[in-house]
A = this chain, B = another copy of it.
């Protein structure tokens, strides 16, 4: 089980910039309310909590089909529809496309260069396409889906429809209509499950199975963490404590940036996944906390200076790996060089763990709050734990702020301007607004 260590946010350890036990105790009633919202499923969007119990048979069947037939698996989706699958891919099958078939391509943008590259790399005859959009009309996903629809048809004719798997709402939306009309294979995203909380739904699980990961292991880890995190006693529940600490540091102490730094290359995409979850769930009403994606040891040589001596606006969350599953010894060479020979005889995992601990401690010494999650190893079971743990913590922090952690009203305006420029019916006025703004901007351009 993952373990939380919070010594380095406490006043006792880092001095007056830290929190006291009393400050956390004073939050007890608010935390209790937040937890009861979780336990009583007060919001329909808490449906993500029940994903561990889903039936995975159809996912496994489709994946087996793909594994048997495909050389390439192309995922079309954006936001949670891509970040979750990519987090699974990169954590559990690093360098996948240089080592395994089917190769996995995740196209989560509308950059024409990227799609051109992908199309030049894959043989569409041997490709399956997983199009993921809950609403069924996400512009970016729709655009790439229509392009692939035509390209596949050119090459495979009527057979092409057998190569699409649509992951979408069970009832509503354009994509569901297309599924019905053309008889596409499909998987359901449960109605209550919001994009950024959907990694443990078919959104993430199909990719997991395609790359050879038993999705039940992900769900088992998620279940165990979920059951652990309904513990009522504050001081025994890591999710409650983490939510309380980040909330207090963010409000009382104005530390509104939460850096996440896993000490493992494979969790780089997990950080990105977390950043969407945190940013989109909590950033509203002028409130919220800004997540920052980072990676250890690499970013000690990029960001650490700022965390140590820059503005006092951050809490750093370390993800510490106990067992890397493999190790390499640093040999005895250059014996006469004192600047190097101290490393000889140690292993890489000794070094990376020492650096993680050293960074925690040096931040603490500079009175910069930080906490760590200790993870036994990176496998499907523990990755499932991490997903569910952070989802629960995010919802809890939202409830502490009094924010709805499941909507994203702030992105609508941008969509409307895009509709205007793309000539969607009813958005003419928005197009005019863009054109007016464009003229004004010209006065402020410097070449």
Contacts and interface: CB of A to CB of B under 8 A. Distances in A.
B298 A311 contact: no
B146 A333 contact: yes
Interface in A229-278: 235-238, 241, 256-257, 263-266, 272, 275-276
Contacts of A314: 290
A224 to B, nearest CB: 12
Interface stretch (A53-61, A197-205, A339-347): A339-347
B306 A283 contact: yes
Given A302-B83, A339-B137, A414-B300, A310 B282 contact: yes
A28 interface: no
A343 to B, nearest CB: 5
Contacts of A418: 351, 354-355, 358
A257 B314 CA distance: 12
Given A121-B98, A410-B304, A421-B357, A312 B286 contact: yes
A295 to B, nearest CB: 7
A37 interface: no
Contacts of A158: none
B302 A279 contact: yes
Q: How many copies does the complex hold?
A: 2
Interface in A72-123: 78-80, 82-83, 94-95, 97-99, 108-118, 120-121
Contact of A340 (B80, B142, B263, B349): B142
Interface stretch (A2-10, A40-48, A208-216): A2-10
A64 interface: no
A146 B330 contact: yes
A390 interface: no
Contacts of A5: 441, 444-446
Contacts of A408: 305
Interface stretch (A162-170, A184-192, A319-327, A392-400): A319-327
